[in-house]
């Protein structure tokens, strides 16, 4: 668990002093890998968040149902209605949302003055009409990522959001933007823990067809929108968008160019969308970002790696580890580490915000509050923004820029080409 | 110690069929497998994958080990006050509490502190001291769960209470997966989780029902009956299933011995102690969640609970086999399960 501390520093004293500003103070050998844990997130405010904001969920497929489950646990966000055009999904959803009314036409929700906020979780290519009309109807809108499967549609949504930004909240579904773990990792990076940033790498690997079944051929055609080029932004747009967005956020930059490659290597079942893709993004300063995804092998699953001259940071789901070079300056918090083995590297798991835990008489190595799923934090932030009238982390700009990045990359994959981004493409 | 997960159920029919699609995924520390029949293999695979994805989502909600699951949140916070839970988890917990009452407390989702005290969670049996046992017993029992149906919250009435859905998690995941398959238009499929819980959707082509076999315990279980060809499992019973579930629980695979006393890993939550006889139970009925709970309850509660379990609305067939230490033959009770001749 905790390492011995040959410098003689008292753990507690060190933590009090501990910050990235105290680099190099500690003597003695350190292992080279550290887990970075999210700051202690208090759930104390959860039970009394303030004025309830009645909301509605539009689109109740598997993800819409996850959202309903999350809202059921989130105080102050009563679900007044749920909308779904497909009857079996609608029936299922109504069981998840308490007394919520289940409707077939989303306009019934937009006409309902009781509903203050809507969460749009329909297929991506159907977001535009719903999100724009909801904003025009005066609702606060949480629109799942990607905002849309085309740049035009995403721009229309972002413009509608900009139009009402002083009185209504618009949040894009890039849920990691509201997650404490990712904020915490970003703070480390911003403080220079990487040394010279070198490159970023993300992978999204699964073994599944991405196809879905339905009792009728009409429904099957409808539900398999992700496999068709005219309705889908592909693996990069539908899944990669989260990683792409994190890369731009962490690097604090927009990509300059993207080269795409990919094809249908395994699921040759009449689909138009590649099942295996690679995209190489060029960022300012010579930093490259590689995104790769496949539906034919699940090795390593989903994860991101950010590499610098002093350390590499690996993110998997809601956990992160830092792998330090032997010659990197000490950051100070390694002493609180829990060790884990990654092939030939010894990992040290770290607890962020340990000072607060120690003040509460807890041991940072074992007592750190564990996180909720990222969608929980994202929805929680949305409702907090509504109550406090503040701009969400993932506002319309963030949502739109991610679509520009992802859709351009998806098209580069389809065309096996390289595209140079123009600054004005990112203008809403 | 024997392997933790012996194969508990076999598919008797049909044989390997090129028209069938099989999909599988590891979840809940076991392997889930779905065999689907139909006309279009692409569609069958798609439906199977969706069902497996639902199983993974169930695991994410219910896992005792994942810190971001709803169950972990409850275990962390519910002794300090009510915890809001999703509708799905709330209804499952209510159902579990109901099934606990139905089995006179022999099935219990709060048994974790006892399992830990006996070293079962660390897979290293030990006899606890009286004080530890008393403390653990004080934390076990669904009476310590306080439900608020209006607010959909769960609270513990004391600290140290824990919910662990291991006994019914697989069954619940299978029930959810079956719904997804039905929704996708699938009419013939067989699903199982770690071979201990199975659901038969419809029947295989040209058959009346899926036939599922319960194999006799392996020779390591030291049953005098099991003297057949070691290469082929001998079946205790073959059960036809159509739109029905079968759950099997067994306590022959794990046991330990301390100072001359043999203990099984079958723990009766009511007494707080492991039972001394090895047992095997099976319950067939309309759903896997209830089947898992009832067969677990029968395993822990033993023969005296048989009539109560067999008479439950969610039980269509039931089997109890017990091997009391030193007895020449097993005790067998069956409700609408026909035993193969050699099993008697």
Mean pLDDT of B203-223: 75
Taking phi over 0 as left and psi of -120 to 50 as alpha, with beta for the rest, B111 belongs to: alpha
| pLDDT, chain B, mean | 88
**Better-scored residue on pLDDT, B204 or B222:** B204
Tokens of A375: 């969608």
Which pairing describes strands B188-193 and B210-215: parallel, antiparallel, or unpaired? unpaired
Cβ pair A210, A226 in contact under 8 A: yes
Optimal mutation site among A64, A213, A216, interface B, most CBs of chain B within 10 A:
A213
Residue B252's pLDDT band (boundaries 50, 70, 90)? low
**β-bridge partners, A346:** A341
| Cβ-based interface (< 8 Å): residues of B facing A | 42-47, 49-50, 53-54, 57, 60-61, 67-68, 70, 72-73, 76-77, 81, 84-88, 152, 179, 183-186
Nearest to A214 among B67, B81, B185 (CB): B185
Nearest to A213 among B43, B61, B86 (CB): B43
Tokens of A107: 């306009």
φ/ψ of residue A146, rounded to 5: -70, 150
pLDDT of residue A320: 81
pLDDT of residue A363: 53
Tokens of A204: 């999204």
Class of domain A11-40+179-368: alpha beta
Cis peptide before B285 (omega within 30 of 0): no
pLDDT of residue A98: 81
Mean pLDDT of B34-55: 94
Tokens of B286: 């309309």
Residue B312 has pLDDT above 50, yes or no: yes
DSSP summary character for residue A392: -
The domain at B70-166 falls in which architecture? Answer: Orthogonal Bundle (1.10)
Sequence ranges of the domains in chain A:
11-40+179-368, 44-177+378-395
Residue recorded with tokens 């009728």? A216
Q: Which of B59, B57, B55, B148 is nearest to A65 (CA)?
A: B57
Domain with CATH 1.10.3980.10 in chain B: 70-166
| Burial of B111 (C-beta count, 10 Å sphere; 0-12/13-18/19+) | buried
Mean pLDDT of B22-38: 93
Domain with CATH 3.10.520.10 in chain B: 10-57+168-343
User: CA of B59, closest CA in chain A: separation in Å?
Assistant: 13
Optimal mutation site among B32, B38, B60, B67, interface A, most CBs of chain A within 10 A:
B67
pLDDT of residue B2: 31
User: pLDDT tens for residues A3-43?
Assistant: 333 332 233 333 333 333 332 223 223 345 666 665 544 45
Residue B224's pLDDT band (boundaries 50, 70, 90)? very low
Cβ pair B274, B267 in contact under 8 A: yes
User: CA of B112, closest CA in chain A: separation in Å?
Assistant: 20
Measured between beta carbons, which residues in chain B are less than 8 angstroms from residue A43? 77
Optimal mutation site among B26, B74, B87, interface A, most CBs of chain A within 10 A:
B87
**β-bridge partners, B249:** B281
Cis peptide before B290 (omega within 30 of 0): no
Measured between beta carbons, which residues in chain B are less than 8 angstroms from residue A214? 184-185
User: pLDDT tens for residues A175-205?
Assistant: 999 998 888 889 888 888 899 999 999 999 9
Q: How far apart are CA A409 and CA A396, in angstroms?
A: 20
Instruction: Mark the ranges of chain A whose per-residue pLDDT is less than 70.
Output: 1-47, 331-370
pLDDT of residue B222: 38
| Burial of A335 (C-beta count, 10 Å sphere; 0-12/13-18/19+) | buried
Q: How far apart are CA B307 and CA B197, in angstroms?
A: 22
Residue recorded with tokens 């002493």? A335
Q: Does A214 touch chain B (CB under 8 A)?
A: yes
CATH of span B10-57+168-343: 3.10.520.10
Cβ pair B7, B196 in contact under 8 A: no
Cβ <8 Å between B50 and A97: no
Tokens of B282: 């099976």
Between 3.40.50.720, 3.40.50.10540, 3.40.50.2000, 3.30.470.20, what CATH number should domain A44-177+378-395 receive? 3.40.50.720
Residue B120's pLDDT band (boundaries 50, 70, 90)? confident
Residue B124 has pLDDT above 80, yes or no: no
Residue B342 has pLDDT above 80, yes or no: no
Helix and strand numbers, DSSP H then E, in chain A: 14, 17
Q: How far apart are CA B295 and CA B316, in angstroms?
A: 12
Measured between beta carbons, which residues in chain A are less than 8 angstroms from residue B179? 92
Cβ <8 Å between A208 and B67: no
pLDDT of residue B228: 46
DSSP summary character for residue A238: I
């Amino acid at each position: 668990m905790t390492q011995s501390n040959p410098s003689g520093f008292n753990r507690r004293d060190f933590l009090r002093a501990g910050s990235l500003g105290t680099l190099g103070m500690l003597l003695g050998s350190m292992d080279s890998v550290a887990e970075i844990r999210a700051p202690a997130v208090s759930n104390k405010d959860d039970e009394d968040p303030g004025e309830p904001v009645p909301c509605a969920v539009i689109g109740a497929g598997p993800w819409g149902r996850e959202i309903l489950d999350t809202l059921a646990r989130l105080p102050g966000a009563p679900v007044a209605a749920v909308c779904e055009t497909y009857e079996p999904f609608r029936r299922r959803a109504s069981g998840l949302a308490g007394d919520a009314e289940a409707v077939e036409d989303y306009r019934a929700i937009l006409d309902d003055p009781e509903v203050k906020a809507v969460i749009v979780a329909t297929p991506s290519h159907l977001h535009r009409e719903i999100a724009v009309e909801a904003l025009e109807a005066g609702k606060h809108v949480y629109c799942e990522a990607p905002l849309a499967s085309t740049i035009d549609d995403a721009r229309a949504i972002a413009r509608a959001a900009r139009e009402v930004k002083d009185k209504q909240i618009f949040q894009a579904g890039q849920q990691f933007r509201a997650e404490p773990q990712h904020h915490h990792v970003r703070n480390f990076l911003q403080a220079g823990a990487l040394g010279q940033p070198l490159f970023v790498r993300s992978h999204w690997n699964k073994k599944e067809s991405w196809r879905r079944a339905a009792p009728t051929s009409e429904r099957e055609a409808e539900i398999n929108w992700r496999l068709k080029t005219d309705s889908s932004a592909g693996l990069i747009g539908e899944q990669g968008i989260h990683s792409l967005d994190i890369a731009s956020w962490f690097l604090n930059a927009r990509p300059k160019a993207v080269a795409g490659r990919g094809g249908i290597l395994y699921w040759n079942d009449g689909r138009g969308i590649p099942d295996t893709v690679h995209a190489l993004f060029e960022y300012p300063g010579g930093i490259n970002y590689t995104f790769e995804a496949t539906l034919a092998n699940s090795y390593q699953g989903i994860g991101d790696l950010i590499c610098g001259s002093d350390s590499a940071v690996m993110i998997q789901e809601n956990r992160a580890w830092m792998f330090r070079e032997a010659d990197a300056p000490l950051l100070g918090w390694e002493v609180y580490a829990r060790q884990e083995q990654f092939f030939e590297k010894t990992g040290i798991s770290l607890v962020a915000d340990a000072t607060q835990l120690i003040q509460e008489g807890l041991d940072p190595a074992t007592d750190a509050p564990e996180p909720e799923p990222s969608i929980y934090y994202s929805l929680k932030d949305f409702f907090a923004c509504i109550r406090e009238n503040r701009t969400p982390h993932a506002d319309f700009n963030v949502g739109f820029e991610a679509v520009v990045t992802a859709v351009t990359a998806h098209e580069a994959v389809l065309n096996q080409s390289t595209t140079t981004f123009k600054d004005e493409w990112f203008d809403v | 110690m024997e392997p933790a997960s012996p194969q508990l159920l076999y598919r008797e029919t049909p044989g390997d069929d090129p028209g069938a699609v099989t999909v599988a995924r590891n979840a809940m520390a076991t392997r889930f497998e779905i065999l689907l029949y139909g006309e279009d293999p692409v569609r069958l695979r798609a439906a199977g994958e969706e069902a497996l994805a639902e199983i993974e989502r169930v695991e994410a909600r219910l896992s005792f080990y994942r810190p971001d699951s709803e169950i972990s949140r409850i275990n962390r916070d519910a002794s300090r006050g009510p915890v809001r839970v999703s509708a799905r988890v709330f209804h499952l917990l209510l159902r579990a509490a109901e099934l606990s009452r139905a089995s006179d407390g022999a099935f219990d989702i709060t048994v974790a502190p006892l399992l830990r005290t006996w070293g079962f969670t660390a897979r290293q049996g030990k006899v606890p001291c009286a004080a530890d046992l008393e403390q653990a017993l004080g934390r076990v029992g669904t009476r310590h769960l306080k439900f608020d149906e209006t607010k959909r919250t769960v609270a513990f009435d004391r600290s140290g209470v824990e919910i662990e859905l291991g006994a019914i998690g697989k069954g619940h995941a299978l029930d959810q997966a079956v719904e997804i398959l039905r929704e996708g238009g699938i009419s013939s499929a067989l699903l199982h989780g770690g071979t201990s819980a199975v659901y038969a959707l419809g029947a295989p082509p040209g058959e009346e029902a899926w036939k599922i076999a319960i194999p006799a315990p392996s020779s390591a279980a030291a049953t005098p009956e099991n003297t057949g060809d070691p290469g082929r499992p001998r079946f205790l019973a073959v059960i036809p299933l159509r739109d029905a579930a079968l759950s099997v629980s067994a306590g022959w695979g794990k046991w330990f011995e301390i100072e001359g006393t043999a203990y099984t890993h079958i723990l009766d939550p009511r007494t707080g102690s492991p039972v001394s006889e090895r047992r095997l139970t099976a319950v067939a009925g309309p759903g896997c969640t209830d089947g898992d709970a009832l067969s677990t309850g029968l395993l822990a509660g033993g023969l005296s609970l048989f009539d109560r379990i067999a008479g439950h609305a969610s039980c269509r067939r039931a089997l109890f086999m017990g091997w009391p230490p030193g007895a020449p033959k097993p005790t067998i009770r069956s409700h609408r399960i026909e035993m193969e001749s050699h099993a008697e």
